Structure 1
Amino acid sequence: MVVLNPGDTAWMLMATILVLLMSIPGIALYYSGLSKSKNVLNTIYLTFIAFSVASIIWVCYGYSFAFGSTINGLIGAPANLFMTGMGVNDLNGTIPALLFVIFQLTFCGLTAALISGGVVGRMKTSAWVAFVILWVTLVYVPVAHWVWGGGWLMEMGALDFAGGTVVHIDSGVSALALALVLGPRKDTTLLPHHLGYSVIGAAFLWFGWLGFNGGSGLAANGLAANAILVTNVAAAVALVTWIVIDKVKVGKPTVLGAISGAVAGLVAITPAAGFVDVPAAIVIGFVTSFVSYFALYYLKPKLGYDDALDVFGIHGMSGLWGAIATGIFANPAINEAAGLLYGNPNQVVIQIIAAVATVIYAFVLSYIIAKVLDVTMGIRVDEATEVKGLDTQLHGESGYRL
C-alpha cells in the first residue's frame, strides 16, 4: 500500500519553491537586465503576467488535460477541472496529489515566461496576455500530455526527465515563431542596460534549477541527488567552455558569455538529469556551449530573425541537443533507461522523433496563434511607443528616476 512519505513531501515542497524562484525573480531579472533601460519594467511585467495567467489556466483546466487519462495519446480527459475531485489527502505516488499539481504548475508558468525574451521591446501587453492564454491551452498542455501525461511520445518511450522537450524546445521554437510574426525591432542591438540584474537572475536560475531537475523524480532519494549533481556539473562546464570560446573569438572573457553558457548548460542537462552520470554531463555541458554559440553568432545573423534575448538560440537549440544527448548517454545504472552507448541505438531515434514532433507542432501552432492575434487585435506597438520605450508609454512608469 502506497502511503505519504514525509521526506519526499518535504523535498517536493522545497523543489516547488525553487522552481518558482526561476521565474520570479530569476527570469524577470535575467531578461530585464539584458533589455534596454526604457523597457526594463515592461520586460519584468511580461514574466509576471505570463506566470500568473498560466497559473490560473493550470488549475482551471490545464492540469486536467495534461495529466488526465489519455484520449488516443493526444490529450487528457478532463476529470479534475478547477481541481474538483482532488482532496488534500489524495496521493500521487508518495506525495500529495495537490503538491504534484503545483509543482507542474511552476513548469507551465516558467515555460510561458521564457517565451517573452523573444518579444521584448515591441509587443502589446494585451496581445501578450492573449497569446499566453492560447499558447498554454493549445501548445503547452498537449505537449506536456504527450511526453509526461501518458500520451503518444511517452508510450513510444521518449525520455524527458525535467523538460528539455516540454519546456525548452517548446519555448524556444515558440519564441522564434512569435518573433517572426512581430518582425525585427527598430534597434536590434543587444546592449544590456544592467548586466548586474542579469547576473543575479542567472544565479537564481542556477539555484532554482536544482529543484527543477532534482525534484522531477518526485522523491528525496539517490536519483534526486544524481540529478542535482549532474545539473551543476553541466552548467559549470558549459560556463567555462563559453568563456574559452569568448577568449578565442573576441580576445577576452565576458560576463554575458559566462551566464549565457551556464544557462545553456542547465537547459541541455534538463532532459538527461535523471538518466546520465557525471562523465556524460561533462560532455553535454561542453558541446552545448558550441551549439548555442553557433545559433547566437552565426545562425541568427545569417537568417535575420530578431529573437531579442535569444530564447531560441539558448533554450531551443540547447534543448534539442539535450534531448538527443539523452538518447546517447542514458545509463541504465542511473534510472533503467539505456541509450546508444549502452546498447540501445533506438533511443536516439525516439528522442529525435520527439524533438522534431515538438518543434513542428510548437512552431506551427505558435505562428498561427500569433498571426490570428495580429489580424484581429494587432500584436505590435506603434513606432512612437517603441522608440520612446514601453515603460512610460504602456505602463506610465519608469524603471529609473535619476
Structure 2
Amino acid sequence: MAPAAITLAAEAPKLSAANTGFMLICSALVMLMTPGLAFFYGGMVRVKSTLNMLMMSFISLGIITILWVLYGFSVAFGTDKGSLFGWDGDYVGLSGIGLTQLWDGYTIPIYVFAVFQLMFAIITPALISGALADRVKFTAWSLFIALWATIVYFPVAHWVWGTGGWAFDLGVIDFAGGTAVHINAGAAALGVILVIGKRVGFKKDPMRPHSLPWTMLGAGLLWFGWFGFNAGSWLGNDDGVGALMFVNTQVATAAAMLAWLIYEKLRHGAFTSLGAASGAVAGLVAITPSGGAVSPLGAIAVGAIAGVLCAMAVGLKYKFGYDDSLDVVGVHLVGGIVGSLLIGFFATGGGQSDAQGLFYGGGLTQFWKQCAGVGGVLAYSLIASAILAFLIDKTIGMRVSEDEEVAGIDQTEHAETAYDFSGAGGGAAARTAVPSPVVQDSKKVDA
C-alpha cells in the first residue's frame, strides 16, 4: 500500500508518572486549603465561637469523603443522564476501577482524578460555614452539608465539568470552580441565612475578629494551596496551560489584594490586615474560573476589578439586612460572578480554548454563555439550599437557642473553649496569684 494511503490511528494515551505525581501533590495542596479555610474563618469570629468555626470546616473532611466514595464521584463524573447528573456503577464505592485505568483520555489514573476532585467537593460546603457563624447546631450543619453535597454540589459539578453536563456542552468556561465551587457556595450561603436569620446583636454588638494573625495565616495557606486547586485542574502540563494558570493565580491575587487595600484606604482611611487577607481571597476566587483563558495582563484586570467590587459588596449586608457573618456572599458569590463573567471580555483564545472575549474580537458570544452558567448555578443553589435549610429547621432545628448563642457555641456544642484563661501555673500558686487583666476580663471577651 502506498504511504499516502496509510491511515495512522491516534496513539492511545499512556500513564504519565510525572503527571500522576504532580496531580497527587496538587490533591494534597487542595486538601490543605480546608484547614487553611478553618484558620481564615476561625480568626474572624469571636472567641466563644472559635472551635465551632474550625469544626464546621473539619467535619466536611469526614462527611464528604465518605459520600464521594459511596456515590458522589459517580453522580458528578459518571455517564451523563439527561445533562443533569451522571451515574456509573463502576464508580460506586470506587470498586470497579483498575489501578492503572486512565481518566477519560488523560494520562493519570481514575483514582488520582477522583481524589483530586474529592478535595474540591470537601472545601465547597466548608466555604458556606463562614456565613453561618455563631448560631447553627453542629448536628444540623452536619446533616445540611451531607444533603447539600448530594442534591446540589454533585449534580452541579456534573453540569460544569462532566461530559454531557448542560453547562459543559453549552461551552461555559470554568477552569477550576468559579461556578461549581464559589458561586455555588456563595448562593447557598445566601439561601441559608435568609432562612435562619441574623445573629443575636447583629448591627448592635461588636463582632470583631478575635485573632487577625489566625486570619492572615489562613489566607496564606489558602493562597499556597490554591496553586494546586487552579494549576492542577488542567490535569497535567504538557501544553503549558497549567503553567499559565499558575502564573495568573499569583498575578490576580496580588492585584486584588492591592486593589482592596487602596479602596479601603480611600473609603475608610486605613490599610487593614483583614482587608489584605480578604482581598487576596477575592482575587483567588475571581481567577479560578478565568485563569486558563486570560493573559497575565488580563489576570491583573480580573483581580483588580474583583478586589474593588468584593470590597464594596461586603457592606451590602448592612444595607439589605442579611447577616452574612464572614462575608461569604460578598467575596465568594460576587468574586465568582465577576471572574466568570469577565471571561466574556478578556478571553484571548490562546489558552484553554479558542473562545475569544469582546476585547479580543470575539463579540459577546462567550459572555452570554457565561451568563447562562452563572445564572443557572446561582438560582439552583440558592433555591435548593434555602429549601434544605427550611426543612432541617422545621424538623430538628437549625439554630441553637438564644441563650446558647449568647453563652457561646463552643461550650454548648463542643464542651470546649479555644483558650484557657485560668493561668499558666497550677496548684496553690495559681490560686493565690493576682489575675492578669486578660483573666479578669475573660468573661467579658466578646470581640
Question: TM-score range, shorter-chain basis?
Answer: over 0.9
Residue 207 (structure 1) aligned with residue 217 (structure 2): no
Specify which of 315, 324, 339 is matched with residue 322 of structure 1: 339
Tell me how far 1:375 sits from its aligned partner. Answer: 0.6
The answer to whether the 8 A contact 1:159-1:271 is kept is yes
Cα distance between partner residues in 1 of 2:209 and 2:217: 14
The answer to whether the 8 A contact 1:61-1:78 is kept is no
Q: How does 1:305-320 map to 2 (within 5 A)?
A: 305-320=322-337
For 1:68, give the aligned amino acid: G
Q: How does 1:80-119 map to 2 (within 5 A)?
A: 80-92=91-103, 93-119=106-132
Paired residue for 1:288?
Answer: 306
For 1:179, give the aligned amino acid: I
Cα distance between partner residues in 2 of 1:295 and 1:159: 24
Residue 37 (structure 1) aligned with residue 47 (structure 2): yes
Tell me how far 1:61 sits from its aligned partner. Answer: 0.3
Question: Which consecutive residues of structure 1, in runs of 5 or more, have no partner in the other structure?
Answer: none
For 1:367, give the aligned amino acid: A
Residue 179 (structure 1) aligned with residue 193 (structure 2): yes
Cα distance between partner residues in 1 of 2:318 and 2:229: 32
- What secondary structure, in the 3-state scheme, does the structure 2 residue paired with 1:18 have? helix
Cα distance between partner residues in 2 of 1:175 and 1:78: 30
Paired residue for 2:388?
Answer: 369
Cα distance between partner residues in 1 of 2:270 and 2:308: 17
Paired residue for 1:401?
Answer: 420
Cα distance between partner residues in 2 of 1:328 and 1:121: 40
The answer to whether the 8 A contact 1:43-1:120 is kept is yes
Residue 59 (structure 1) aligned with residue 62 (structure 2): no
Paired residue for 2:271?
Answer: 253
Paired residue for 1:138?
Answer: 151
Cα distance between partner residues in 2 of 1:83 and 1:184: 41
Residue 14 (structure 1) aligned with residue 25 (structure 2): yes
Specify which of 342, 363, 379 is matched with residue 398 of structure 2: 379
The answer to whether the 8 A contact 2:190-2:329 is kept is yes
The answer to whether the 8 A contact 1:237-1:285 is kept is yes
Cα distance between partner residues in 2 of 1:17 and 1:326: 28
Structure 1 ranges of 4+ moved more than 3 A: none
Specify which of 169, 174, 186 is matched with residue 183 of structure 2: 169
Cα distance between partner residues in 1 of 2:51 and 2:397: 22
The answer to whether the 8 A contact 1:159-1:327 is kept is no
Specify which of 172, 191, 195 is matched with residue 158 of structure 1: 172
Paired residue for 1:341?
Answer: 359
Paired residue for 1:353?
Answer: 372
Alpha-carbon RMSD across the aligned residues, in angstroms, is 1.0
The answer to whether the 8 A contact 1:9-1:95 is kept is yes
Paired residue for 1:148?
Answer: 161
- What secondary structure, in the 3-state scheme, does the structure 2 residue paired with 1:41 have? helix
Matched positions, count: 400
Paired residue for 2:80?
Answer: 70
Question: Which consecutive residues of structure 2, in runs of 5 or more, have no partner in the other structure?
Answer: 1-11, 422-447
Specify which of 372, 381, 389 is matched with residue 408 of structure 2: 389
TM-score where L is the length of structure 2: 0.88
Q: Whose Rg is larger?
A: 2
Specify which of 129, 143, 164 is matched with residue 142 of structure 2: 129
Q: How does 1:200-279 map to 2 (within 5 A)?
A: 200-221=217-238, 222-279=240-297
Cα distance between partner residues in 2 of 1:160 and 1:357: 13
The answer to whether the 8 A contact 1:239-1:259 is kept is yes
Describe the superposition over 1:270-312 as per-residue Cα deviations: whole angstroms up to 9, x where unpaired.
0011111101001001100121112112x22111100100111
For 2:108, give the aligned amino acid: I
The answer to whether the 8 A contact 1:162-1:271 is kept is yes
Cα distance between partner residues in 2 of 1:243 and 1:326: 24
TM-score where L is the length of structure 1: 0.98
Cα distance between partner residues in 2 of 1:390 and 1:78: 41
The answer to whether the 8 A contact 2:69-2:94 is kept is yes
Cα distance between partner residues in 2 of 1:74 and 1:203: 36
- What secondary structure, in the 3-state scheme, does the structure 2 residue paired with 1:135 have? helix
